[in-house]
Amino acid sequence: MTSESGPAVDAAAARATRVAGLFERARDGDRSALDDLVRELNPLLWHVVRAQGLGTEEAADVVQTTWLQLLRRLTEIRSPQALTAWLVTTAKRQAWHTRTQLRSRPADGTEVMDGLAGAEPAPADLVEASERRRVLWRHLRQLPDRCRELLRIVAFVDRPDYSAVAEALAMPRGSIGPTRGRCLAKLRELLLADPAWEIP
Amino acid sequence: MTVPPPPDDPGPFGAADDPLDEFDQRVLDELAAAFAEVDPPPADLDQRVGFAIALGRDLELEVARLSEDQLVGSGARAGPDRVRTLTFDCATLTVMVTVVALPGDRRRLDGWLAPAAPLAVDVRAGGSSEVTHTVTADETGRFVIDGVPPGLAQLTVHLPEPGRTVVTPAVVL
């Protein structure tokens, strides 16, 4: 394994520091900091919800409802890690709730479902994509559903928040289920074995 | 709903997980870029959330989920007879709203609260940061709000207990 530092890791650390600052200010009542926090964390919440198979309208509503519920909880949350974990758990739980509700109404609920994997591209959609991107999708597809869901979420999580999010997603450390480490190790193995994947 | 407890070990990695190195971080960044490309959030998502949470954070609020959003009658075509029904649900209350499009780009909201109660209903419409319409439902839980402009809107229902409210997510009317 190579060094842990590098530009990508540094950029992630800088982002985490920024989010931590916004969290402190938002908790103290700074409205614009809360808006900035929404902008920073919405992509993560979007992918958490979409990975549960909701359509775009339903997903947007769940993301919104998650933030609304935060309004009465914000002062109780102790750290940026706890915030991320709380948001991810709440969004996922609500997405499940909404999905169950839609499924119980098969007459009009079918068209809003994108399937469990949630908006992963069909091969035909990747004609314009770079070779590198196509290689990534090809190998990602070989992973089990739960690994794909987990990696999709983790890819949008800031590094210091991984543990809290993994716990929030009920994948305790030491469990035999898919973990970020196992899923990523598998993807890494597939990519490294593929000559079409080059490190830029 | 409870806040998840902090992890025993505040370190960045789960025990079953090897530390991330530069390669892992690149793969994750690449994954994030790939998902962001094929499935970006709606362009107005930040704005919708910003509008919805503009009502403030210190309220004893209960969030009603949008459980149904249907075009009825003449279907999806625009026109004076276009009617849409929205249903918002939470443990305390169900709020049903029929949105009737009127000439002059205005809407009328025909609402119904269940269980029925004569509660005050506020609307912030047209993307306004302030309440634009206030009505009180009748004994059967019905209310009518006329002349609502298009754009983002959010309903707040004031429960009998002081300070307690039910809020809906923002919807585009």
- Topology (CATH) of B45-172: Immunoglobulin-like (2.60.40)
Q: pLDDT value at position A146?
A: 83
CA distances for A189 relative to A18, A88, A185, angstroms: 33, 28, 6
Contact A184 B24 (CB under 8 A): yes
Residues of chain A with Cβ-Cβ distance to B37 below 8 Å are 129, 133
For chain B, the domains span 45-172
What CA–CA distances, in Å, run from A159 to A9, A14, A44, A62, A154?
8, 10, 13, 24, 9
Range with the lowest mean pLDDT among B49-63, B70-84, B87-101, B132-146? B70-84
| Residues A71, B7: C-beta atoms closer than 8 Å | no
Tell me if the bond preceding B115 is cis, omega within 30° of 0: yes
Residue A171's pLDDT band (boundaries 50, 70, 90)? low
B42 to A9: CB separation less than 8 angstroms, yes or no: no
For residue B158, is pLDDT > 80? yes
Residue B86 has pLDDT above 70, yes or no: yes
Q: How far is B51 from chain A, CA to nearest CA, in Å? A: 10
Residue A184 is predicted with a pLDDT of 87
Contact A164 B6 (CB under 8 A): yes
A108: closest CA of chain B, how far (Å): 9
Strand partners, A98: none
Interface test with A, best of B55, B57, B89, B164 (most A CBs within 10 A): B57
What average pLDDT does range A116-130 have in this prediction?
64
Least confident of A164-173, B110-119, B136-145, B164-173: A164-173
**Is B75 part of the contact surface with chain A (CB cutoff 8 Å)?**
no
What is residue A161's predicted lDDT score, i.e. its pLDDT? 81
State yes or no: pLDDT of B170 exceeds 80. Answer: yes
Tell whether B104 lies on the interface with A, counting CB pairs under 8 A: no
Domain coordinates of chain A in residue numbers? 7-192
Of A5, A74, A163, the CB nearest to B57: A74
Record: contact B27-A184, CB cut-off 8 A: yes
**Interface touch B10/A81, C-beta < 8 Å:** yes
Closest-CA residue in chain A for B36? Answer: A43
Q: What percent of chain B has pLDDT over 70?
A: 82
Tens of pLDDT, residues A19-73: 999 999 999 989 999 999 999 999 999 999 999 889 898 999 999 999 999 998 8
**Mean pLDDT of all residues in chain A?**
81
The answer for A118, left when phi > 0, alpha when psi is -120 to 50, beta otherwise, is: left
pLDDT at A112: 41
